[in-house]
Structure 1
Amino acid sequence: MRLRPAPSTLARTAVLASAVALIACAGQAIAAPAPDNSALSATPFALDARRAPSGAKFDSGMQGFSVESADFAHGYLTKDLLAERLKTLGPHGVLRLGGYSMDLVWPAFGSAADAPAPAQAIGGTVDQTDLDSLKHLLDSTGWKVTLGVPLKSLIDPAKLKNPAKDPAPQVTMDQVVGEVKAAHATLGDDLLSVEVGNEYDNVTTLTPAEMWSTVKHYQAEIDAALPHAHLKMTGPSANTALTNSVINGFADAALADGPDAPRRTLAEMASHLYAGSHCGTSTATMAQLMSPDTYLKARTKLQGIKAVGARLHHTVPMTLNESNSASCSGQPGVSDAYGSSLWALDHLLETAQNDVSRLLFHTNTAAICGDFKPRDSADYPISYRYYGAFCAADQTQLDAHQLSASPLYYGLWTFRQLPKGHFVDLGLPDDALGNLRAYGIEDEHGKLHVVLINVQDPAATDATDDTVSMKLPRGMHTARATTLVSSAPGGLSSLDAGAITLGGAKMTPAGTADRTPQSTPVQVGPGTSTITVAPGSAQIISISR
């Protein structure tokens, strides 16, 4: 049960707020001091970790990145540029090559191997040298890849919603099959699947049943060329709508072909989900990103995806193969701010807890921080994105493959510290979500790992510590905590990624940590422990028997 702050807390909050307002009104050329939250009483919460693990499995290897096909076409998926950044996140992960530019690249394969790219191919040209570089990257990291192929130019033009918007080069099925053959020959088992189109429901009028038929047609063409490869497909990669009507319709069409049809055709059923939007006149705020409403909307979406997986009898993995804080390149001041690290950690755990098998964050791969290009620029598909996981301070650093970690990357790195296991329900009520997010994982050795995230903004005058009293299983008596925190005064909106640490460790521009994250002891009493989590921080508490 959540308890209200003591009256003295509210009084001190009001006094502090009045003082800040007085400074602002005085018109003096001095800055208001950062809020002193140390004077505020903590908000208490009670959790119970004694429940048996639930059916939801946990594997931190579920995370990865979605990158634009244009990044691939421009030769950015290289060992020198990305290997250390991927290995730091673990030996297992997935790269998805796709995004909006999936229909804007020119596959130089098949009969088009030596043909010049048409003017519409603003995403660049993919050829064998790109596949060779990708092979070196995958061999170095242990990661795998899904390959996106064009859709718009291979369907009836009457089915396009807006043919004049970013007209696609006229790619043929011969080119698609040629690229897949070359990818399979080069990558082998590291090629997980072939994805057909990106958010088809945004750019075409194809029904879910028609999209299912299209995916089957692509697979048949690929099977004819590679009869022994048994490559499967990714679909439908529907848009970011909070409803699941598209994947439900897609599942209906697949099941209409027989109960085994989805498993024979699909390596995964993919959806997209963004917490907010920066498309058109839409804007996202930090308060919205961290709000209970955003969390609950995501949970509804994820539970719907989980239900579709159940309808398929769990024979096809359900994935979010494109996700992030705000669509359309992210929201400046939000997607690139410290709060996105806490949100990313929370989003990964919430997604895993709802039985979704994989979550890929859309990112740039080679960009200078802040070097954003407008949508009508030819450089748009490969320009800086505010929600990117890493970027270079300047051209010199980019040329030297020195990419600084963004707040988003720190969230993924924190998530990677967790071991395989099963989720334990801690009993956190929904009315606590404005202050706290909490997850429990029991690993394969019976050790309990609890993740506590205080989502309050430390720059706010009414932010409080979260004091979490947790009942523990019998025999657990030793605990240590690893903390994700920023020392910057801007709170969740701080843009200083260099102020973020995980267990005192930071990421270097070389893509590695400057030290191993350190943990500190946590006091454990008979059957209980009380943990204090500061505003705008997260803790992983590992408790042993």
Structure 2
Amino acid sequence: MGWQYVPLLLVAPLVDAAVTVHHPPEDLFTMTQSSIAPGETFSGNRAYDPTELEPPENGGYVPNFDINLQPAGTQDGLSHQLPSPFFGFSIEMSVSNQVYGRNSTHINVPFLNLMSNIAERAGEVHVRCGGNTQESAVMVESNPNGLMIDKDYSSVSGTTNTPPIDYTMELIYTLGNISALVPVKWWVGIPFDDIHENPIRMDIADAAINVIGENLLGFQAGNEPDYYGKFGRRPPEYTAFDYMGEVGELIQLMSQNPIYEGYRDKLVSPSIAMEWPLQETWDTGIIENYRDQIRYMSVERYPDNNCGAVFGTGGAIRVPQELIGVYLDHHHLRSWTDYYVETGLYAQQMQKPLIMFETNTASCGGFPGISNAFAGALWGLDYALQLARKNFSEALFHVGGQSVYYNPFTAAPTNQTSFSQWTVGPTYYVVLIMAEIVGRTGTARVTDLYAAEDSNRTPAYAIYEGDEPARVALFNTNTDPSGGHTYTASINVPQTISSVQVKRLSANSVSQINNFTWAGQTWGAANFEADGRPHGEYVIETLPCTPGEGGGSRCPVSVPAPGFALVFLQDGGASAHDEAQTYATSAVGRDRNTATIDRAALETSNGHNETVRGFLGSTSYGSQSSATTLARLGVASLGIVAATMWTVLHRLR
């Protein structure tokens, strides 16, 4: 290809942080904002279902109890050291254009802001571009109407009616451009759907190496291979040994092509769910045999499923009102994650990070009134800490489209992108808060404290840095507006401190939908109200401590029902996450400016400018462009149109 004109975003500095949303006539908007009368059923997109369940019956509760923390050498049950970030996102490949943006020149500002909030706390964000749809994804030269992603709904497969997709290089350019603005790093999936019928489709790996470069974490070698036989992608007798052989074929192919030099040790495998027993999978020797190529051990699992109700599979119809109490039961969650204890120890033995590569509240989209309620946030935090305790190194919450309940964030429907903003769900708060729980040192260790007589509704965790306790996480998953189930935990620490700082995740009920607050701030009081930036007064509480009886300090902290409190035991810990670089948006119409991005932030994003990077800009696999501009870099917008733009010459080879 010769010289081409490609838009490059170079814009004036931010001068106004205000968000302006001009709504259309009222009757066009209230259709998706309306509440449900008793006895009625919501018929809109599941992502915006306002159905509230009744809070479950309250469980274990002790009004006052002690938490006695010891130096690390004598504290029971500490995990391995936890890397940062601990939690990220698995974004279904087929919804890439909804989430990331229309293409590489129209990147969604709310997405950038949401990632920036986490990156400020964790240093970077890890995102998987994949899922079921990666298996049948085919890179094409172009799609009808210039679409980045095109779906074939006439050929759906599997329980979730997954459509095959055709994608273009625009998708890879979009991922690269996001990383140029916010420190996001990516996993991409190599399709394994017809590995024996045709050569392995390595297009996405080749393109990712050329475009994403240093921000490429690795390649997933197939997705949930234990379901291949069940869903007709392989013969019914397909086994873990068969999969291991196919991974070997991939490794052999990569060893023969110089483009993979430096990337041959970045495979994610085996990404199994529940069809193959874990130990039988490890007994194949896949990790030992390919230990130089498999960098990350991966599994995928959801605690329940809503497939019978959503897809009519003939399976049991799960009733959310009967399940909400289960999601708030710490004992149940601890038992559920115990399934991975031996695998976690094996991963440590093999010196491999163990990743929960795809998860959320329930498969097939989650449950209304749980996945999108405060209960989902409390469950997610308890779940995340249990995974950490079981020696996982990372986990990814799955993101679907408009038809699921469990999204951490949901873009406005396509026909509303000119006037509506995003909707932020409870699991986004989980990822945000886990970044603060784990911190950025890479040395944090977690333990379950079995607090309050091991109550099932008021669990507590300690987080250690070095030899000293640094943070304590306190839960109350009961609901009692009267204050009758508020408890006080007296935290006894070995060090001498005069006070602790506390941040709280708050709502009025475990059944509440939207308007949760973290440290006094919300990412959306209702559907269609989020631009990715927090709103409200930032609140950190400072609570006094007194000398302990045997030395150290005693620090009482109360937790209402419901609520979550993160207690910082070391000076300055709570205030370390105050300012994230975010971008203003104004949704005003399809032909108006919608975003401005600070030029200096663009030029120095991720600690580099393009003169230093130089890896973007080639469409010839295995080669680098001589140009040193961002590949097809364009505007970041609220899914609408460009801000101030210049056109630059960019040579593509």
TM-score range (shorter-chain normalised) is 0.7 to 0.9
Q: Among residues 284, 290, 294, which one is paired with 1:266 in the alignment? A: 294
Query: 1:171-191 CA deviation, whole Å, 9 max, x = no partner?
Result: x425x1232111111111222
Q: Deviations over 1:299-339 (max 9, x none)?
A: 312313213314xx232211100011111111111111111
The verdict on how the C-alpha distance between 1:228 and 1:393 changes in structure 2, with shifts beyond 3 A counting, is closer
Aligned-pair distance for 1:399? 4.3
1:240 and 1:274 in contact (8 A); partners too: no
Deviations 1:188-217 (A, max 9, x none): 122222112221112324211211111121
1:356 corresponds to: 392
* Match for residue 263 of structure 2 among 230, 237, 247: 230
2:476 maps to 454
Q: d(CA) in 2 for partners of 1:455 and 1:188?
A: 43
Contact 1:192 1:267 in 2 (8 A): no
What is the 5 A alignment of 1:193-342? 193-204=218-229, 205-225=237-257, 226-231=259-264, 232-240=266-274, 246-254=277-285, 259=288, 261-280=289-308, 281-283=316-318, 284=320, 285-310=323-348, 313-342=349-378
Indicate conservation of the 8 Å contact 2:505/2:565, yes or no.
yes
Which residue number corresponds to residue 190 of structure 1? 215
Within 2, Cα distance between the matches of 1:529 and 1:154? 59
Q: Deviations over 1:216-264 (max 9, x none)?
A: 21122233232523333211111146xxx54433322236x8x4x3321
1:61-106 CA distance string (max 9 Å, x none): 1111111121237784564252111111123121112222223432
Is the contact made by 1:390 and 1:405 (CA closer than 8 Å) also made in structure 2? yes
Structure 2 Cα separation of the partners of residues 390 and 358 of structure 1? 19
Q: Write the mapping of 1:370-385 to structure 2, written as runs, cut at 5 A.
A: 382-385=401-404
Matched letter for residue 427 of structure 1: L
Give the CA deviation at 1:502: 0.9
d(CA) in 2 for partners of 1:293 and 1:314? 29
Structure 2: segments with no counterpart, 5+ residues: 1-53, 143-149, 157-162, 230-236, 309-315, 525-529, 548-552, 572-653
**Are residues 417 and 425 of structure 1, via their aligned partners in 2, closer, same or farther at CA, if it must alter by over 3 Å?**
closer
Of 159, 175, 194, the match for 1:153: 194
SS at match of 1:402: coil
CA contact (8 A) 1:482 1:517 kept: no
After TM superposition, give the deviation of residue 41 of structure 1 in Å.
9.3
CA distance in 1, matches of 2:186, 2:413: 29
Greater helix share, 1 or 2?
1
Q: Which amino acid aligns with 2:462?
A: G
Instruction: Check 1:266–1:61 CA distance in 2 against 1; reply closer, same or farther (3 A cut).
Output: same
With normalisation by structure 1, the TM-score equals 0.76
- Contact 2:358/2:397 (8 A) holds in 1: yes
Identity across the alignment (%): 18
Give the conservation status (yes or no) of the 8 Å contact 1:58–1:422: yes
Match of 2:610 in 1: none
**Equivalent in the alignment of 1:140:** 181
Q: Is residue 512 of structure 1 aligned with residue 553 of structure 2?
A: no
The reply on whether 1:94 has 2:94 as its aligned counterpart is: no
Which position in structure 2 is the counterpart of 1:422?
444
Determine which of 501, 508, 512 is the counterpart of 2:517. Answer: 501
Q: 1:74 to 1:155 in 2, by over 3 A?
A: farther
Deviation sequence 1:483-506 (CA, Å, 0-9, x none): 11014xxx11122x12x1111111
Partner of 1:126: 167
Which SS does the other structure have where 2:269 is aligned? strand
Which letter does structure 1 place at the counterpart of 2:372? Answer: D
* Cα distance change of structure 1 residues 351 and 129 upon mapping to structure 2, 3 Å threshold: same
User: Does residue 45 of structure 1 match 2:65?
Assistant: yes
- 1:407-486 aligned within 5 A: 407-418=426-437, 419=439, 420=441, 421-423=443-445, 425=447, 427-428=449-450, 432-443=454-465, 448-458=470-480, 464-486=485-507
CA contact (8 A) 1:478 1:522 kept: yes
Structure 2 Cα separation of the partners of residues 55 and 350 of structure 1: 10
CA deviation after TM superposition for structure 1 residue 396, in Å: 6.0
- What's 2:95 paired with? 71
> After superposition, what is the alpha-carbon deviation per residue over 1:331-355, rounded to whole angstroms, capped at 9, x for unaligned?
1111111111111122112211221
SS of 1:492's partner is coil
User: SS at the partner of 1:316?
Assistant: coil
Distance 1:476 1:425, change over 3 A: farther
Give how far 1:474 is off. 3.0
Matched-pair contact (CA < 8 Å) for 2:271–2:300: yes
Amino acid in the other structure paired with 1:385: V
Instruction: Please state whether the residue corresponding to 1:535 is helix, strand or coil.
Output: coil
Alignment check: 8 A CA contact 1:223 1:230 kept: no
Structure 2 counterpart of 1:93, one-letter code: V
Return the offset for 1:424.
5.5
1:286 to partner: Cα distance: 1.2
- Find the aligned partners of 2:489 and 2:448 in 1 and give their Cα distance: 11
Q: Distance in 2 between matches of 1:126 and 1:401?
A: 26
Classify the secondary structure of the residue corresponding to 1:97: strand
Residue in structure 2 matching 1:398, options 410, 417, 420? 417
Q: CA 1:200–1:219 in 2, change beyond 3 Å: closer, same or farther?
A: same
140 and 298 in structure 1: CA distance in 2 versus 1, 3 angstrom threshold: farther
- 1:524, CA displacement in angstroms? 0.9
Query: How many angstroms apart in 1 are the aligned matches of 2:351 and 2:435?
Result: 26
**SS of aligned partner of 1:249:** helix
User: How many aligned positions are there?
Assistant: 457
- CA-based RMSD of the aligned residues comes to 3.1
Give the 3 Å change call, closer, same or farther, for CA 86–516 of structure 1 in structure 2: farther
The 8 Å contact of residues 392 and 404 in structure 1, kept in 2 or not, is answered as yes
User: Residue 425 and residue 332 in structure 1: after superposition, are their counterparts in 2 closer, same or farther (change >3 A)?
Assistant: closer
Does the Cα contact within 8 Å between 1:340 and 1:408 map onto a contact in 2?
Answer: yes
Looking at structure 1, the residues matched to 494 and 256 of structure 2 have their Cα atoms a distance apart, in angstroms, of: 56
Q: Work out whether residues 338 and 390 of structure 2, in 8 Å CA contact, stay in contact via their aligned partners in 1.
A: no
- Secondary structure at the residue paired with 1:328? coil
More displaced 10-residue stretch of structure 1: 52-61 or 354-363: 52-61
Aligned to 2:82: 58
2:569 aligns to what SS in structure 1? strand
Show structure 1 runs of 5+ residues with no match: 1-33, 111-115, 157-171, 365-381
Aligned to 2:604: none
- Asked which structure has the greater RCO (Cα within 8 Å, sep 6+), the reply is 2
